[in-house]
Amino acid sequence: MVQKRKMMLRRLDLVQIFLIGGCRMYALYEPLSLHLASKRDRGRMKQLLWFLVWFVWGAMGTITTQQFFAPQNSNMKITSPIRELLVLSELQCAMACKQNSTCLSYSVTYSSGSLICRFGYRYDEPRAADADSKFFYRDVPAGYNLVPGTRSYVKMTVQSIPGSNTATACKNEGSLLVSSTDEAVHNYTKQLWANRPSGSNFVVGGVSVANRNTWIFPDGTNLTVTGLGQAGFCSSEPNGDPGYCLHFWVHDPFPCWADTPCSTIYDGYICEIKVPD
């Protein structure tokens, strides 16, 4: 099981902030009248203003950082960031990442008195150990379910779609087409077919290269078979040409892999997000 640690405060703490903050604002504001303009009153109004600024900034920061997690070993630095900037605090880095739709993870590094913020476009972004750095990744979107015993979250989308468009559809959610060479992930995705009608076809990650027996998956893993019906393939598969897409075929007596042209209109697709351990 992936160990997760939420940054900053829990929602309960946020509620407490609002309650305490509300009492403080009332105590400052209640004795004042809009018609009073004494030096003392103006000073108290300035205090109220600064408190409001501090309160709103803190609340926004807490809400933002609740959407990021740290892996068990968080002292890591992103090695090939899509963006790098100087920030004043870890909170500023988190808020900047949250506002950037392509930022799915970030690291902050203390270096010579400066704080360097680095963005990653993957949840499990390549990184290196660094004692002066901390690494965080976004929360997984709604609809993705954790495959027990793995770091993978998967989601099946039922939608008529050309196979060539499915990778982009997953990417728009920060995921990849599922790389089900992992046995646990493969078996879990098979369970998603329990209520699908026979003959349904759902795209999974995998494209044939060089010949019908050699496949490469989105996570970089490779698979080579020597004949029909091997690995997760149906008894008469693979039988296509290089460049074909891999899909799950709901075929009696159980769902199995098949290959067809990527221009085929499929019944849906399965995406996967792998989070850091």
> Residue 123: pLDDT band by 50, 70, 90 thresholds?
very high
Task: Please state, in angstroms and as integers, the Cα–Cα distance from residue 262 to each residue in 204, 210, 214, 216, 251, following that order.
Answer: 11, 16, 16, 14, 19
Query: Which has more confidence, 82 or 65?
Result: 82
Tell me the average pLDDT across 211-215. Answer: 92
> Residue 219: pLDDT band by 50, 70, 90 thresholds?
confident
| CA nearest neighbour of 64 among 100, 110, 88 | 100
> Residue 248: pLDDT band by 50, 70, 90 thresholds?
confident
Q: What is the pLDDT of residue 25?
A: 46
Per-residue pLDDT tens over the stretch 87-99: 999 989 999 999 9
Query: Which has more confidence, 66 or 228?
Result: 228
Least confident interval from 28-37, 173-182, 193-202: 28-37
> What is the phi/psi pair of residue 123, to 5°?
-65, -50
Tell me the average pLDDT across 54-65. Answer: 45
Cα(192)–Cα(200) distance, rounded to whole angstroms?
Answer: 12
* pLDDT more than 90, % of the chain: 53
All structural domains of the chain, each given as residue ranges with its CATH number in brackets, are: 85-135 (no CATH), 145-274 (3.10.100.10)
Cα(32)–Cα(114) distance, rounded to whole angstroms?
Answer: 43
> Residue 103: pLDDT band by 50, 70, 90 thresholds?
very high
Inform me whether the pLDDT recorded for 252 exceeds 80.
no
β-bridge partners, 154? 145, 272
- Helix then strand count (H, E) for the chain reads 5, 17
In this structure, is the dihedral angle defined by the CA atoms of residues 259, 262, 264 and 266, taken in order, positive or negative?
positive
Nearest-Å Rg of the Cα atoms of the chain is 25
Q: What is the pLDDT of residue 253?
A: 66
Task: Kindly report the average pLDDT of the chain as a whole number.
Answer: 81
pTM across the whole model: 0.73
Per-residue pLDDT tens over the stretch 185-198: 988 988 887 778 88
Highest mean pLDDT among 39-43, 80-84, 95-99, 240-244: 80-84
